[in-house]
Amino acid sequence: MLNQISTVMALALFLIGHLSSAKPRVAAMTGQNLVHRHCCQYKAFDATKAESIALDMQVAAPFSKGKGWRLTVDGSGSAHLTINSYPKRRTRTFKISAKQLAQFQSALAEQQFFALGAEYGGKVPDGSTRVLSITEGKQSRSVILRYLSSNAYNPSEVKRAVRIWNLAQSWFNDADAMDLRPYDRRILDAK
């Protein structure tokens, strides 16, 4: 019961922070450039552009299995993962390879990330909320993903956002971190 209450409180604080801000969260982060993506074909990693790329992704969900988390990655590939475990958050750092950063850069263009809408999915009582914020140069976009059904409005846009999310989440594997990729599979497989 206490775990459910703390999860609901964390979700509420998370949403208040994101929905009360007119600017994307990443744009307000100074000194940190963050990144994320999915794709098979990729161009050579452009280190000059990497300094202008920033990613901040996080998930909050009132589930008993898996905890909410936040991942930030800077242009050099330094990643910081925070898992909202109870009673104390766990954090760890790791490195994203130049090849993975190159795949991410290509995916942003391929999936037309900066042309996506601000929010997809519906609000349901036990649903998750994911926020993916990316800045590249002067472009910045935050996309909120809520409960996604296979008959989603504008399914091609939803799939583009999910592909970006899933690529970044593939960079780490932690049993305590909420993993919505099995649910996303039905979205990506839908005709």
pTM of the model: 0.72
The confidence score (pLDDT) of residue 51 equals 52
Which residues make Cβ contacts (< 8 Å) with residue 88, sequence separation at least 6? Answer: none
The confidence score (pLDDT) of residue 117 equals 95
The confidence score (pLDDT) of residue 49 equals 53
Phi, psi of 161 (to 5 degrees): -65, -45
Task: Please give the domain boundaries of the chain with CATH numbers for all domains.
Answer: 2-189 (3.30.1560.10)
pLDDT in tens, the chain (191 residues): 434 434 334 444 343 343 333 333 333 222 223 333 333 333 444 544 545 678 999 998 766 678 999 999 988 899 999 999 888 899 999 999 989 988 998 999 999 999 999 999 988 888 889 999 998 888 999 999 998 876 667 889 999 999 999 999 999 999 889 998 988 998 898 87
Distance (Å, whole) CA 78 – CA 153: 35
DSSP state of 153: S
Q: Burial letters for 109-143: b for 16+ Cβ neighbours within 10 Å, e otherwise? A: ebbebeebeeebbeeeeeebbbbbbbbbeeebbbb
